[in-house]
Amino acid sequence: MAIRFVTGNEGKVREAREYLSGIEPVEQIEYDYTEIQSDSLSEIAAHGAREAFRESGSEQPVLVDDAGLFVDALGGFPGPYSAYVEDTVGVERLWRLARDEDNRRARFKTVLAYVDATGTETFEGSVAGTLVAPRGEGGFGYDPIFEYNGQTMAEMSTEEKNAISHRGRALAEFAEWFADHEA
């Protein structure tokens, strides 16, 4: 039985397939679930996964992720509102908001929510870094202003970024749980 990853992002599906290789096949499905407003990535992802599972009419499990950038000096903002802030305010303006702060520590977080007929489980991954002036041509979203070990995510190759990715860390936690859960 395949795990259905609810996303329109093929890159997320590739990453999930890498982590779950040999454990369970991953199938991409697109479903526009209701994204509730919450300060909790776990609540958002779990709600979306439960809705997608219920509406699919299938017993196959689903996986949904939600992610955000949490800036310490801004009280965790933009957090779960990261996509909205990127679309409306923009990455450069968020940088300008944080650049004069003494503490520019930030964290990318991902929460994966897994739903099957027995219930809901969530798994979190994060990576800590520092906000810096935009650099680099790769990546997407906040990657140009998020520095990890001297490089922004936008300066890293896909392989370098995936090796330290918040989503990858959540997927690793999920893969370990799933292997034990299914055994």
Q: Which two tokens stand for residue 156?
A: 């890293």
12 is in an annotated binding site: yes
Give me the pLDDT at residue 15, please: 87
pLDDT band at 22 (very low <50, low <70, confident <90, very high): confident
| 55 belongs to an annotated ligand binding site | no
List phi, psi (to 5°) of 4: -95, 115
The answer to whether the annotation marks 167 as part of a ligand binding site is: yes
5-38: b or e for each residue (b if 16 or more CB lie within 10 Å)?
bbbeeeebbebbbebbeeebebbbbebebebeeb
Q: What's residue 68's pLDDT?
A: 96
Instruction: Confirm if 33 and 51 have CB atoms less than 8 A apart.
Output: yes
Cross-strand partners of 147: 130, 152
Across the chain, mean pLDDT equals 93
Indicate which residues carry an active-site annotation. 66
Tally the domains of the chain: 1
Give the model's pLDDT for residue 159.
Answer: 85
Give the pLDDT confidence of 111-142 residue by residue, as tens digits. Answer: 999 999 999 999 999 999 999 999 999 888 99
* Residue 8 domain boundaries: 1-180
Query: Does residue 12 carry a pLDDT above 90?
Result: no
pLDDT at 183: 55
Residue 141 marked ligand-binding: yes
pLDDT band at 181 (very low <50, low <70, confident <90, very high): confident
pLDDT for res 93: 96
Q: Is the dihedral of CA 135, 157, 71, 13 positive or negative?
A: positive
Residue-wise pLDDT for 60-100, tens only, equals 999 999 999 999 999 999 999 999 999 999 999 999 999 99
> Does residue 3 carry a pLDDT above 80?
yes
Which CATH number fits the domain that encloses residue 136? Answer: 3.90.950.10
CA–CA dist 57, 101 (Å, integer): 49
What's the whole-model pTM score?
Answer: 0.91
Q: Is the pLDDT of residue 182 over 80?
A: no
Q: Give mean pLDDT, residues 3-14.
A: 90
> In the chain, pLDDT over 70 holds for what percent of residues?
99
